[in-house]
Structure 1
Amino acid sequence: MTSPVLADHPVQVRTYGRVPAELISYAARKVEVVLRHAPAPVLLVRIKLSHDRGAAPSEACVRVDVDVNGADVHVRAAAPTLTEAVDLMQRRLRARVQRVHRR
């Protein structure tokens, strides 16, 4: 599924398990906020959201792969809820994108 939320960046979104549509949009917005400040053109964005409610304890995972002008940035975050995992992912993505700028 391709998301139009990041119109300036090609975005691929995949979901596994029960992931509400509003959380897909939430994750895309969080990624967009970070990538507005990318130090170089963003060539590709992949977001994977998964939520396994059958597991004890329940775990939500978010993985984001970004190509910032040839520099690959990969972030993974897990938390009890998807919202928490997305928020954690955003903090990690921001730090890693800033490191691309320093290279």
Structure 2
Amino acid sequence: MKNGPKKRKLILLALTVLVLAAVAGFVFRPRLFPEKSGEQQSDSKAPDRIYTAKKGELILGVMLTGSVNAKTKHKLAMEAPWGTKLVKVVDENKEVKAGEIV
């Protein structure tokens, strides 16, 4: 039965060393592994994601897909008794000179 107390002391010593190692690892982990603890090193190659907001003009752009439908539709009709050919369409409100082909 002499081995009982020696064995118990050895197990207690091993558990104490294990607990102390775990506590030391928890305390010194940020210093040993800073990238895993959430802290960034000052010489890190990662870009800074901190920006300073300034008052100024805000420019927004929107890209959409779809189709555009006019409110009113115009139908071009050739009402001539003989065969005609559409040569040019004149823009609305455009001034046309006398003799100009339209």
Higher helix share: 1
Normalising to structure 1: TM-score of the pair? 0.21
Higher strand share: 1
